[in-house]
């Protein structure tokens, strides 16, 4: 079975100029953790997720300090949350995106999701235009159906 | 593109010129060739820092192809003992990070009652210096920067002066023990120096240098310290600050500290234990982190692979291995004997003159190059001094102290400097300009190097301390 048979074809996308706060609101409203970012021609340019917001508001050294427990919300984080109001999706998104073609087998996508540690994978055509998106639950559902 | 071409051109020109010049100065073909390749490697590191490992690999390959050295000898010169020591220490540091030891330590600053600008500055410098004695400078500076940013954010003061202050103390502290800086363990192994030897000479010198630097910093940054006082007075929020970073002294942290403490006991007493057990010098010094790492990997078996794969900086260690071997090749070919002879002639065969030459050239060299490169280049030369009959333990200390203190002179002088200003720029969008650093850096670098020179001369000639 090919991925284009199970992918969600009506894809909500973001533009790089979309304010980050507005993009985050859309994630909350749709109860999803990330959306693909496309340019004016519909070409995939990045992926914007809740993780990118966390990365923006936490200090950059957070992965290097091990156990460093904040009891109260420190001012540094509050200041960064305030600065988020001016940030755009294009500044925070991940530019290197794991993507697959429409002809990719479901098993291959499952393999990519596990090894690359991604929850959703945009499906693109030969020109990198977003044709759909597939979530981990969609892949699991299909695999278990047999 | 033009910049890259110019850099490559410069690299090629300097390497070839050094080869021809050294040939003209009396080196034979093999010696001149090994020097040219070594210089090319170093220049590649200087101009293309992110490709330094590539240059190390390529340079090593060229040395072997040019028959400057055979493979067996090359492999022996990689100083695997030092690499394993550093790898072991990195695993121990990974455990301590996970346990929250460093966060607990820097939170001590927050516990200071009646905090004032001077008290804060003093605490930052002492904790930076002490931390740098026990673990690598990069780990210690990351935690200090994290704490300083939090505190300065809270009091709404600019963090730049306090971060620079912390870096100055880190570089000074890293000279005090065998563990503080990779050049410490390198010099200890090459010169057969023990932890006790470090406690007798560089430790007190670093302590005196740190105290003098504290006084310099109190004067240089008096305005920033006074501003900090004003903000503390306005906010008066000790209790809130206390709760900012909290790491409870739980069982996991206590056990981790015990493991670290046991390793420190082995390291501190290594020379005594080696004599008792009839082991070669520095055996226990080198294997203490390895044994500790082994114990940690059994205790934390679910995280062992993570500690090894992510905790150990393989990129850096591979670079060091090849750099050590390349510098060792210079001695293997006899090139360093010729240089040692030239240096001795320049210093008019005077050991005091040679001491000054080693100290000041390593200090100035470390201000622009990574201190490991400077020390690795000098090690075979100092060994040649011994072969020529000019040897003195003081030369090793001069190399260590010059290599560490010189790192304070410019903002690229040490990895700690680069990491700290990188974090400052990332977190606060504050760019430290060369001239912002150079004033205080040159002052502290020169004064501390002078202090080291004076105390080494005193120790050398008076034999009392």
Question: How remote is the C-alpha of A138 from its chain's centroid?
Answer: 16
Per-residue confidence (pLDDT) for residue B242, from 0 to 100: 58
Mean pLDDT value across chain A: 88
pLDDT: which is higher, A68 or B49: B49
Least-confidence region, from B76-80, B173-177, B351-355: B351-355
Per-residue confidence (pLDDT) for residue B465, from 0 to 100: 42
Report ipTM for this prediction. 0.71
Per-residue confidence (pLDDT) for residue B190, from 0 to 100: 92
Per-residue confidence (pLDDT) for residue B453, from 0 to 100: 96
pLDDT tens for B83-98 read 999 999 999 999 998 8
pLDDT, tens digit only, all 146 positions of chain A? 888 888 898 889 999 999 999 999 999 998 888 999 999 988 999 999 999 999 888 888 877 777 766 656 667 777 788 888 889 999 999 999 999 999 999 999 999 999 988 889 999 999 999 999 999 999 999 888 86
The 10 Å Cβ neighbour count of residue B50 is 6
In a domain, B233, yes or no: no
CA–CA distance, A76 with A84 (Å, rounded to integer): 13
CA–CA distance, B114 with B384 (Å, rounded to integer): 55
Contact B202, B176 (CB under 8 A): yes
pLDDT tops 50 at residue B429: yes
Contact A134, A7 (CB under 8 A): yes
The 10 Å Cβ neighbour count of residue B155 is 22
Q: Which domain holds residue A14?
A: 3-145
Q: Which domain holds residue B279?
A: 78-98+249-317
Q: Compute the nearest-CA separation of A92 from chain B (Å).
A: 14
pLDDT tens for B377-394 read 899 889 888 888 878 899
CA atoms within 13 A on the CB side of B173: 25
DSSP state of B310: I
Predicted confidence band of residue B150 (pLDDT cuts 50, 70, 90) = confident
Domain-terminating residue out of B259, B287, B317: B317
pLDDT tops 70 at residue B252: yes
B3 and B64 assigned to the same domain: yes
Mean pLDDT value across chain B: 89
In a domain, B433, yes or no: no
Contact B398, B358 (CB under 8 A): yes
B56 and B92 assigned to the same domain: no
Domain-terminating residue out of B317, B337, B362: B317
The 10 Å Cβ neighbour count of residue A12 is 13
Q: Which tokens is B175 given?
A: 């000279």
In a domain, B214, yes or no: no
- Which residues of chain A are within 8 Å of residue B240 when distances are taken between CB atoms? 72
- Which residues of chain B are within 8 Å of residue A68 when distances are taken between CB atoms? 100, 102-103, 146, 245, 247
In a domain, B204, yes or no: no
Predicted confidence band of residue B3 (pLDDT cuts 50, 70, 90) = confident
Write the CATH number for A94.
3.10.580.10
Contact A22, A86 (CB under 8 A): no
- Which residues of chain A are within 8 Å of residue B153 when distances are taken between CB atoms? 74-76, 79
In a domain, B9, yes or no: yes
| Range among A85-89, A138-142, B167-171, B228-232 with highest mean pLDDT value | B167-171
In a domain, B277, yes or no: yes
B20 and B62 assigned to the same domain: yes
In a domain, B304, yes or no: yes
**Overall domain count for chain A:** 1
In a domain, B241, yes or no: no
Domain-terminating residue out of B317, B333, B351: B317
Pick among A75, A86, A87 to test the B interface (most B CBs inside 10 A): A75
Q: Is residue A31 less than 8 Å (CB to CB) from chain B?
A: no
Q: Kindly provide the residue ranges of all beta strands, DSSP E only, lying in A7-99, ordered along the sequence.
A: 34-38, 44-49
Pick among A66, A75, A83 to test the B interface (most B CBs inside 10 A): A66
pLDDT: which is higher, B194 or B113: B194
Q: Compute the nearest-CA separation of A74 from chain B (Å).
A: 6
Q: Do B243 and A71 touch (CB under 8 A)?
A: yes
Taking CA–CA distances from A73, the nearest residue in chain B reads B244
**Overall domain count for chain B:** 2
pLDDT tens for B299-335 read 999 999 999 998 999 999 999 999 999 988 988 888 8
Q: Do B146 and A71 touch (CB under 8 A)?
A: no
């Amino acid at each position: 079975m090919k991925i284009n048979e199970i992918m969600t074809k009506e894809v909500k996308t973001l533009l790089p100029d979309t304010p980050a706060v507005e993009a985050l609101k859309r994630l909350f409203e749709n109860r999803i953790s990330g959306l693909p970012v496309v340019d004016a021609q519909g070409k995939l340019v990045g992926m914007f997720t809740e993780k990118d917001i966390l990365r923006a508001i936490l200090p950059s050294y957070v992965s290097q300090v091990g156990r460093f427990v904040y009891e109260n919300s420190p001012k540094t984080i509050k200041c960064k949350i305030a600065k988020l109001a001016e940030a755009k999706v294009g500044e925070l998104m991940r530019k290197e995106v794991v993507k697959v073609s429409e002809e990719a087998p479901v098993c291959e996508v499952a393999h990519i999701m596990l090894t690359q540690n991604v929850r959703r994978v945009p499906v693109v055509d030969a020109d990198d235009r977003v044709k759909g998106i597939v979530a981990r639950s969609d892949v699991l559902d299909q695999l278990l159906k047999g | 593109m033009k910049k890259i071409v110019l850099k490559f051109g410069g690299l090629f020109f300097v390497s070839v010129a050094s080869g021809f010049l050294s040939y003209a100065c009396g080196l034979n073909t093999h010696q001149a060739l090994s020097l040219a390749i070594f210089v090319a490697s170093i220049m590649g590191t200087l101009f293309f820092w992110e490709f330094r490992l590539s240059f190390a690999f390529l340079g090593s390959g060229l040395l072997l192809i040019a028959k400057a050295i055979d493979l067996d000898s090359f492999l022996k010169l990689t100083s695997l003992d030092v690499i394993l020591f550093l790898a072991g220490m990195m695993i121990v540091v990974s455990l301590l990070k996970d346990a929250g030891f460093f966060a607990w330590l820097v939170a001590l600053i927050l516990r200071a009652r009646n905090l004032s600008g001077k008290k804060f500055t003093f605490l930052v410098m002492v904790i930076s210096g002490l931390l740098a004695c026990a673990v690598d400078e990069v780990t210690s500076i990351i935690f200090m920067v994290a704490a300083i940013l939090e505190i300065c954010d809270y009091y709404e003061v600019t963090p730049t002066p306090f971060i620079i202050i912390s870096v100055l103390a880190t570089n000074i502290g890293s000279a005090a023990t065998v563990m503080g800086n990779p050049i410490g363990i390198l010099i200890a192994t090459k010169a057969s120096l023990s932890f006790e030897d470090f406690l007798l000479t560089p430790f007190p010198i670093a302590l005196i240098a740190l105290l003098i630097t504290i006084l310099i910093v109190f004067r240089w940054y008096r305005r920033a310290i006074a501003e900090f006082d004003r903000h503390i007075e306005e906010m008066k929020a000790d209790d809130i600050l206390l709760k900012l970073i909290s790491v409870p002294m739980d069982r996991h942290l206590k056990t981790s500290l015990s493991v670290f403490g046991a390793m420190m006991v082995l390291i501190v007493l290594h020379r005594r234990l080696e004599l008792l057990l009839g082991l070669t010098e520095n055996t226990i010094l080198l294997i203490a982190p390895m044994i500790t790492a082994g114990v940690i990997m059994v205790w934390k078996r679910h995280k062992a692979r993570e500690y090894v794969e992510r905790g150990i900086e393989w990129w850096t260690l591979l670079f060091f291995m090849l750099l050590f071997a390349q510098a060792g090749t210079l001695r293997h070919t006899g090139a360093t004997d010729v240089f040692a002879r030239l240096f001795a002639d320049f210093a008019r065969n005077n050991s005091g003159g040679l001491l000054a030459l080693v100290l000041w050239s390593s200090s100035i060299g470390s201000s622009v190059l990574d201190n490991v490169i400077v020390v690795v280049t000098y090690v075979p030369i100092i060994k040649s001094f011994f072969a020529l009959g000019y040897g003195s333990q003081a030369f090793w200390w001069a190399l260590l102290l010059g290599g560490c203190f010189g790192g304070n002179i410019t903002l690229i002088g040490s990895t700690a400097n680069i990491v700290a200003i990188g974090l400052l720029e990332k977190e606060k969008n504050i760019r430290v300009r060369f001239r912002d650093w150079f004033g205080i850096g040159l002052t502290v670098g020169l004064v501390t190097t002078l202090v080291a020179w004076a105390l080494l001369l005193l120790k050398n000639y008076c034999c009392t301390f």
